[in-house]
């Protein structure tokens, strides 16, 4: 049965949801308050990361968070503010950061990441697109013994879960990748991971969806909802009323504010990240995370992207030059001879990653509104989990059995 589906939010999650809905024969409209050409879906590191199975809300992050909180150059910066929503989120984050809860989240994140990687490969193999997709793995590069020990523990968990993980000394690393000139103590290599060029994929996906009849409504902000009983009848927007059989909320960080108009309490914080591109040869051939600096480096289609930092400071796209400088400094610190110019730093863009308190995304229906489905809260894994989230939401809307157990991702879950 064809349904009239409206998706609120035109990022990677919204696009992938539209793709699978169209495949199932539904009519789709995508609303976005902007022009659908910027934000976290365009400035991220482009990683498909089965290796990222440790949630943000891990025990060590509490200790590091207090240490880094007032340092505006730190990898994880929290701007202190007296805001009730933020304080509630922070309290639930603290409650979620226990060894037991992290252990429970690990297989959940690993499973959805692996599913999403398979779906990206299917998209590539289907020949409907011609996007850059490289399965070259991921290097976790460290400079200190302490960071190396932490990475060794994570690698052991990954290996136990069936992932292929290798270790390189500095000498082995530079023998294998001589053009990059790694200035590190060592690195763990995850064979599971892949990477892409986000801007390229988003453009091709949008063109495909237009060809398939998806209607795009940019500059259309949600004002309110027309609700009858426990169902949404229509959406009141800045461009008028839009009726819908199904509504899907994939508006990233803004999702919680939109959900609040329906009486839903969904804790989300905006985790701002920055990136800039070096449009020149860097010698870097394999995606690398610079562990201590929390910087991601990705060789994309024609350029190298440096991305990083997690800044909890509310919803804004202001560029903090100190944080961009910190990413650039890490580039020169981990790669001998690599210097980032002021002009290159000046091209930096920011994106807001929607972070849930427990590090798991919200995926599925809320029991309070029967024709509302939600996909947000992916933190740093939004790009990686785009296809899996989109497919699952399409299954929910089509009343099919979901590809994964949705209980851990419930939008109604308590912390």
Q: What's the pLDDT at 312? A: 85
Q: What's the pLDDT at 65? A: 59
73: how many CB neighbours lie within 10 A of its CB? 13
Write down the domain spans for the chain: 4-409
Give the DSSP H or E segment for 308.
strand 304-312
Nearest C-alpha neighbor of 391 from the set 113, 8, 6, 20: 20
Name residues whose C-beta falls within 8 Å of residue 194's C-beta, 6 or more positions apart in sequence. Answer: 47, 48, 117, 120, 133, 134, 135, 136
Using only the alpha carbons of the chain, give its radius of gyration: 21
Mean pLDDT of the chain, nearest integer: 93
29: how many CB neighbours lie within 10 A of its CB? 19
pLDDT band at 63; cut points 50, 70, 90: low
Strand partners, 277: 305
Residue 78 in this model has a pLDDT that exceeds 90: no
One of 3.40.50.720, 3.40.50.2300, 3.40.190.10, 3.50.50.60 is the CATH number of 4-409, namely: 3.50.50.60
Give tens-digit pLDDT for 211-225: 999 999 999 999 999
Q: From residue 230, how far is each of 18, 258, 367 by CA, in Å?
A: 24, 16, 9
pTM of the full predicted structure?
0.95
How confident is the model over 15-37, as a mean pLDDT? 96
Cα separation, 380 vs 52, in Å, equals 9
Give tens-digit pLDDT for 297-331: 999 999 999 999 888 888 988 899 999 999 999 99
Residue 72 in this model has a pLDDT that exceeds 80: no
Residue 60 in this model has a pLDDT that exceeds 80: no
How confident is the model over 73-102, as a mean pLDDT? 84
| DSSP codes joined into one string, 317-336 | ----HHHHHHHHHHHHHHBT
Nearest C-alpha neighbor of 356 from the set 373, 375, 331, 330: 375
Diameter of the chain measured on Cα atoms:
66
Q: What's the pLDDT at 84? A: 87
Tokens representing 108 are 């959940």
Name the more confident of 73 and 65.
73
Q: What's the pLDDT at 69? A: 61
Q: What's the pLDDT at 1? A: 82
**Beta pairing, strands 295-299 & 47-48:** unpaired
How confident is the model over 188-215, as a mean pLDDT? 96
pLDDT band at 57; cut points 50, 70, 90: confident
Query: What order do you get walking across the sheet with 231-237 strand by strand?
Result: 222-228, 231-237, 240-243
Q: What's the pLDDT at 173? A: 96
Give tens-digit pLDDT for 338-387: 999 999 999 999 999 999 999 999 999 999 999 999 999 999 999 999 99
């Amino acid at each position: 049965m064809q349904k009239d589906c409206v998706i609120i939010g035109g990022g990677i999650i919204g696009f992938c949801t539209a793709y699978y809905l169209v495949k199932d024969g539904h009519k789709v409209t995508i609303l976005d308050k902007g022009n659908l050409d910027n934000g976290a879906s365009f400035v991220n590191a482009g990683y498909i990361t089965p290796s990222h199975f440790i949630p943000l809300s891990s025990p060590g992050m509490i200790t590091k968070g207090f240490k880094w909180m007032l340092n505006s150059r730190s990898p994880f910066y929290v701007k202190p503010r007296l805001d009730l929503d933020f304080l509630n989120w922070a309290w639930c984050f603290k409650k979620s950061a226990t060894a037991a809860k992290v252990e429970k989240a690990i297989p959940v994140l690993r499973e959805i990441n692996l599913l999403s990687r398979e779906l990206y490969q299917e998209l590539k193999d289907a020949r409907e697109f011609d996007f850059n997709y490289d399965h070259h793995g991921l290097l976790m590069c460290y400079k200190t013994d302490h960071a190396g020990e932490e990475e060794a523990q994570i690698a052991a968990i990954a290996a136990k879960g069936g992932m292929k993980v290798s270790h390189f000394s500095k000498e082995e690393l530079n023998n294998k990748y001589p053009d990059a000139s790694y200035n590190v103590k060592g690195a763990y290599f995850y064979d599971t991971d892949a990477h892409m060029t986000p801007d390229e994929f988003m453009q091709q996906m949008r063109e495909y969806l237009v060809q398939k009849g998806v209607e795009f409504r940019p500059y259309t902000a949600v004002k309110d909802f027309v609700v009858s009983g426990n169902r949404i009848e229509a959406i009141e927007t800045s461009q008028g009323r839009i009726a819908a059989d199904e509504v899907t909320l994939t508006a990233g960080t803004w999702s919680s504010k939109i959900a609040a108009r329906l009486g839903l309490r969904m804790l989300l914080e905006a985790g701002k990240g920055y990136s800039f591109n070096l449009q020149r040869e860097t010698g870097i051939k394999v995606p690398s995370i610079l562990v201590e600096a929390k910087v991601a480096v990705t060789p994309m289609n024609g350029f190298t992207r440096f991305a990083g930092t997690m800044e909890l400071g509310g919803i804004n796209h202001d560029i903090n030059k100190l944080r961009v400088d910190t990413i650039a400094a890490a580039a020169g610190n981990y790669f001998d001879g690599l210097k980032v110019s002021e002009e290159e730093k000046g091209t930096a863009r920011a994106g807001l990653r929607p972070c849930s308190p427990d590090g798991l995304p919200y995926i599925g229906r809320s029991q309070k509104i029967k024709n509302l489905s939600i996909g947000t809260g992916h933190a740093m894994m939004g790009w990686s989990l785009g296809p899996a989230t989109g497919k699952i939401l399409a299954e929910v809307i089509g009343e099919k059995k979901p590809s994964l157990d949705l209980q851990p991702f419930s939008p109604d879950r308590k912390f």
